[in-house]
Structure 1
Amino acid sequence: MSVDVRRRLAELGLRLPEVSPPKGAYVPAVLSGGFVFVAGQIPMTDGELTQTGRVGAEVAPARAKELSRQCALAALAAVDSVAPLETVVRVVKVVGYVASAPDFTQQAGVVDGASELLVDVFGEAGRHARSAVGVGILPLNTPVEVEIVVQVSQTRRPSPVVS
């Protein structure tokens, strides 16, 4: 990838947060072959949920878009915990879940916060396939949750010496 990811994050005024400890029986990210699968990330600030509520009721859509962006940054921290960000070849897939008021239908606009962050950081390699799903409620009453899949380059390991 031609983008210097760490420099790009700094240019955007962003820093990776600490990886949030799992809230259940799972791990934040798994490296499998040439892909990193990131568990759903919720908006956390200093280990605490940033905001609660449903979008279109207690949470304004613009605020939810910001929270979605925060989730994507947390997802990048999770990626970096198992494969350096410098090895990301491309963002493959994003799934965003939006806890929605019954008449709220702008889930795609909320999840744009995550998508736009990934393009801001990785350029064209940040463009991805995506789903934006409205749900009645999310864990811990969070307004948004974002999971991502990225492709990473695999460094060649020397073949074992056989004698």
Structure 2
Amino acid sequence: MAHEETPEHRLADLGIELPAVPPPAGLYAPAVRSGNQLYVSGQVPRAGDGSGVAAVGKLGHAITVEEGAALARTCALQALAVVRAELGSLDRVRRVVRVAGYVASAPGFTQHPAVINGASQLLLDVFGEAGRHARVAIGVAELPAGVPVEVEFLFEVE
């Protein structure tokens, strides 16, 4: 019997288990709700066991575009874990409003959008058209702990 296509069902259909919510690395909250908007703090890619960062380095030097996209996807998975912890279910997300991606870049690297596509594709896979969002992909000199990518999110929620 087919079930309703909700974000929680899509996640299960994709065989994805969300990671534990990573603890804040500073004096901030993992997410803040204001009215029907949920702002999720910037996520850096954590190792699968949560023990530290998944990778260090810069795009265009030690990290390939494909590796960077996979790390951006990890950031999105962590963000969804934060959303579920805050709301109880991803089914309470009405739409993904905005994604801001920051890419630690070696000189001359210009494929920032391709890297952040890793996060964007996951959101489309989980939320369908409600996952299509406004976005910025920015190259930066350095990110916390030397990670290659950091991504922040804004969701409209019920």
Q: What range describes the TM-score normalised by the shorter chain of this pair? A: over 0.9
Deviations 1:15-53 (A, max 9, x none): 111110000000111111101100000111211211000
> In structure 2, which of residues 40, 52, 57 is the aligned counterpart of residue 53 of structure 1?
57
1:142: which partner in 2? 147
2:84: which partner in 1? 80
Percent identical pairs in the alignment equals 51
Task: Report the count of equivalent residues.
Answer: 152
Q: Distance in 2 between the 1:125 and 1:54 partners?
A: 31
Alpha-carbon deviation of 1:85? 1.1
Unaligned runs of 5+ in 2: none
> In structure 1, which of residues 38, 41, 44 is the aligned counterpart of residue 40 of structure 2?
38
Unaligned runs of 5+ in 1: 154-163
User: What TM-score does the superposition give when structure 1 sets the normalisation length?
Assistant: 0.90
Q: Distance in 2 between the 1:116 and 1:136 partners?
A: 25
Q: Distance in 1 between the 2:113 and 2:137 partners?
A: 5
Q: List, as ranges, runs of 4+ consecutive aligned residues in structure 1 with deviation greater than 4 Å.
A: none
2:14: which partner in 1? 12
Q: Contact 1:3–1:123 (CA<8 Å) still a contact in 2?
A: no
Alpha-carbon deviation of 1:3? 3.4
- Confirm or deny that 1:71 pairs with 2:75: yes
Q: CA RMSD in A?
A: 1.0
> In structure 1, which of residues 106, 109, 121 is the aligned counterpart of residue 111 of structure 2?
106
1:158: which partner in 2? none
Alpha-carbon deviation of 1:105? 0.3
